[in-house]
Homo-oligomer: A and B are copies of this chain.
Amino acid sequence: MTAKQRLKALAAGVEAALAVCLRGKDIPEGLLASMQYSLDAGGKRLRPGLCLAFAALHGAAEETAMPFACALELIHTYSLIHDDLPAMDNDDLRRGKPSNHKVYGEAGAILAGDGLLTEAFGLMAAGATGLPGSAALAAIAEIARAAGAAGMVGGQALDMEYTGARGVPLEKLRDMHARKTGALITAACTSGAIVAGADARAVENARVYGREIGAAFQIADDILDVTGDTASLGKPVGSDQDKGKTTYPSLLGLSPSAELARQCVERAKAALGGMTGDTADFLRQLADYIVDRVQ
Interface residues, chain A, with chain B CB atoms under 8 Å away: 22, 25-28, 30-32, 35, 82, 85, 87-88, 105-108, 110-111, 113-119, 121-122, 125-126, 128, 132-134, 136-138, 140-141, 144-145, 147-150, 153-154, 156-158, 160-161
How many copies of the chain does the oligomer comprise? 2
Give the contacting residue for A149; candidates B35, B110, B148; CB below 8 A: B35
Return A100 CB to nearest CB of chain B, in Å.
Answer: 12
Using known A-B contacts A110-B85, A133-B132, A136-B133, determine if residue A148 contacts B115 with beta carbons closer than 8 Å. Answer: yes
- The answer, among B133, B144, B158, B160, for a CB contact under 8 Å with A118, is B144
Contact A119 B149 (CB under 8 A): yes
Smallest Cβ distance from A90 to chain B, in angstroms?
10
Residues of B within 8 A of A105 (CB): 87
Q: List 7 A-B contacts (CB under 8 A).
A: A28-B158, A110-B110, A114-B153, A115-B153, A117-B117, A118-B147, A119-B149
Give the distance in Å from the alpha carbon of A134 to the alpha carbon of B114 in the complex: 25
Smallest beta-carbon distance A144→chain B, Å: 3
- List the B side residues contacting A115 at CB < 8 Å: 148-149, 153-154
